[in-house]
Structure 1
Amino acid sequence: MKDTGFPRADAEADFLRARRRQVLSRLANWLRGEPDDVNIMLPFHEVVDALGYLGERRIGARVIRLDSIVGSVDRGRDFDRRFRPTSGRVRERWERLALATRRGESIPPIEVYRVGELHFIIDGHHRVSVSHAMGLSTIEATVTEVRTKLDPSGIRYRGDLIVKDYRRLFLERVPLSGHSRASVVFTDPWDYARLGEHVEAWGFRLMQDEGRYSDRATLAQRWFDEEFVPVVEMLRQADLIGDRTDAEAYLWVACERYRLIRTHRWDDEVFEAVRSRSR
């Protein structure tokens, strides 16, 4: 934070510097060919919808890290992901807060939702933006903690919400828990939908074979123990997993198995073709 001795002029310079950094960041992203959402603030309601809302509780005043604030309830268009102003719309209020900060005046705490280790602003966007511009690392906040079905870890950009949303839907269809839940991970969100359909079909065939009904949780755990684990272990021993996750390797071989059933060919040439495709 530069100080010329004239707080009002310094506050104006702070805003212009923050705007310039925001524009330069957009230009750098364009030059690197990064996705459009890399600098977009995460929308709170979209995050919670993707993760599955369970409940919330107010935990009161806390000091939180500025870099843990990644999103907003309703002001995403005025600031980018690092809370740099995206236009001159917020300039007057922004400079008033910057001036008050430079003069050492008391600034009220912001209000945030906490989801895991992430924070989303309810009130206080300008205060966070000014704090970033001043080079601060923490800020006082009144915190409400929100509990969700899925862990928000791994969310960096808006596009990551698609994977979380499909994972949440998959776990509603295939209610795994504990270690089995953690073992099924995909990078492509569509794979969760494909595996969900596959597991449901597996469970239906199992109930037909045994002549009795089982609930989703029971079928999910039996599929994991009796199908997923043995198949993944065979793939690992055959050195066929490669760079895939265990779930990606399983889904690949399950699809190949279905294709082989339809071709009615089970000779060595077919198996070698399958092995070659795995590479």
Structure 2
Amino acid sequence: MSSRETGFPRADAEHDFLRARRRQVLSRLATWLRREPDDVNIMLPFDEVVDALGWEGERRIGLRVTRLDSIVGSVNRGRDFDRRFRPTSGRVRQRWERLALASRRGEAIPPIEVYRIGELHFVIDGHHRVSVAHALGLESIEAHVTEVRTKLNPSGIRYRGDLIVKDYRRLFLERVPLTGQARAAIVLSDPWDYAELGEHVEAWGFRLMQDEGAFLDRVTIAARWYETEYEPVVRMLRQADLIGDRTEAEAYMWVAGERYRLIRTHRWDDDVIETLRNRKR
């Protein structure tokens, strides 16, 4: 018998809870000592994730065996458990220990209910059951799953802070509705840069409409900007070795800004690239 078990299910369930609480406190202390962001140990709020990614629709897909490590957030109980579903206080102790006792006695535990966004799951009902399953070392749990479709791909979301980038990217794509490869190509590290790039594309589109003397909708402007401005410029930047450690979109923003600051022009040619190469940061 391991040191974790006494052979008395009720006592073991109590020890399970105390162990989970101790681990939560130690994790919070470690985060503070490492000076990590506050959101590292906070579970993802479902509503904020959907707002950042943009809701498109949902469908029930039924009962599924769900990996515990894919359950990263909550619909409405974020304050009671941390990111790994460890209890954040003694407030949930009574119910938690009752479920742990039932699990140790081999009693059937009802499936939880979750939303699925991409590969991520968010608990609607069953937070205590997830917490107990983690504490008992299980790897999966049964769940009734409702799949939520979003405008943006949820990949890359780990912490609450990641939602800021997704939210600004979603807003950018509403202003500049790129599609397909063009949509995937625009990647910026600083969320504020999406707002700046959106304004840049809108200004480019306004100049285009003035030149052509015709109104163009956002979809047309976005496609024309990507095909006749962004792609050729990025191609020149690669050839001139001006990308550096930036993303291609970040390199484009930098060089477009420098072009106008140094040369006061919106044109692109070899003289422009040579001037920018000589001023390379």
- TM-score norm. by structure 2 comes to 0.94
Counterpart in the other structure of 2:11: 9
| Alpha-carbon offset, residue 258 of structure 1 | 2.1
Rate the CA distance shift 1:276–1:77 in 2: closer, same or farther, 3 A.
farther
1:51 has 2:23 as partner? no
Report the aligned-residue RMSD: 1.8
Rate the CA distance shift 1:26–1:273 in 2: closer, same or farther, 3 A.
farther
Counterpart in the other structure of 1:214: 216
Give me the whole-angstrom Cα distance separating, in 1, the residues matched to 2:273 and 2:229: 20
1:61 has 2:63 as partner? yes
Give me the whole-angstrom Cα distance separating, in 1, the residues matched to 2:55 and 2:274: 47
| Alpha-carbon offset, residue 271 of structure 1 | 7.6
What does 1:194-209 align with in structure 2 at a 5 Å threshold? 194-209=196-211
Give me the whole-angstrom Cα distance separating, in 2, the residues matched to 1:10 and 1:272: 72
Rate the CA distance shift 1:7–1:236 in 2: closer, same or farther, 3 A.
same
Give the letter for the 1:242 counterpart.
G
Counterpart in the other structure of 2:162: 160
Counterpart in the other structure of 2:43: 41
Counterpart in the other structure of 1:266: none
1:32 paired residue among 34, 45, 48? 34
Give me the whole-angstrom Cα distance separating, in 2, the residues matched to 1:277 and 1:65: 52
**Where does structure 1 differ by over 4 angstroms across 4 or more consecutive aligned residues?**
270-274
What does 1:1-279 align with in structure 2 at a 5 Å threshold? 2-262=4-264, 274-275=276-277, 278-279=280-281
**Which stretches in structure 1 are left out of the alignment for 5+ residues?**
264-269
- TM-score norm. by structure 1 comes to 0.95
Give the letter for the 1:113 counterpart.
Y
Matched pairs, number: 275
Give the letter for the 2:109 counterpart.
I
| Alpha-carbon offset, residue 277 of structure 1 | 5.8
Give the letter for the 2:25 counterpart.
V
The CA deviation string for residues 187-208 of structure 1, in whole angstroms up to 9 with x for no partner, is 1001100000000000110110
Give me the whole-angstrom Cα distance separating, in 1, the residues matched to 2:273 and 2:255: 11
2:53–2:167: 8 Å Cα contact kept in structure 1? yes
| Alpha-carbon offset, residue 98 of structure 1 | 0.3
Give me the whole-angstrom Cα distance separating, in 1, the residues matched to 2:147 and 2:279: 47
The CA deviation string for residues 71-90 of structure 1, in whole angstroms up to 9 with x for no partner, is 00000000000000000000
Give me the whole-angstrom Cα distance separating, in 1, the residues matched to 2:280 and 2:103: 59
2:259–2:276: 8 Å Cα contact kept in structure 1? no
2:240–2:277: 8 Å Cα contact kept in structure 1? no
The CA deviation string for residues 148-207 of structure 1, in whole angstroms up to 9 with x for no partner, is 000000001101000000000000000000000000000100110000000000011011
The CA deviation string for residues 13-52 of structure 1, in whole angstroms up to 9 with x for no partner, is 0000000100110111111110000000100000000000
| Alpha-carbon offset, residue 278 of structure 1 | 3.8
Counterpart in the other structure of 2:268: none
Give the letter for the 1:5 counterpart.
G
Q: Which region of structure 1 is more displaced relative to structure 2, 144-153 or 254-263? A: 254-263
The CA deviation string for residues 100-124 of structure 1, in whole angstroms up to 9 with x for no partner, is 0000001000000001110000000
- Secondary structure in structure 2 of the residue aligned to 1:58: strand
2:240–2:273: 8 Å Cα contact kept in structure 1? no
**Which stretches in structure 2 are left out of the alignment for 5+ residues?**
266-271
Seq. identity, %:
81
The CA deviation string for residues 245-266 of structure 1, in whole angstroms up to 9 with x for no partner, is 1100000111111212459xxx
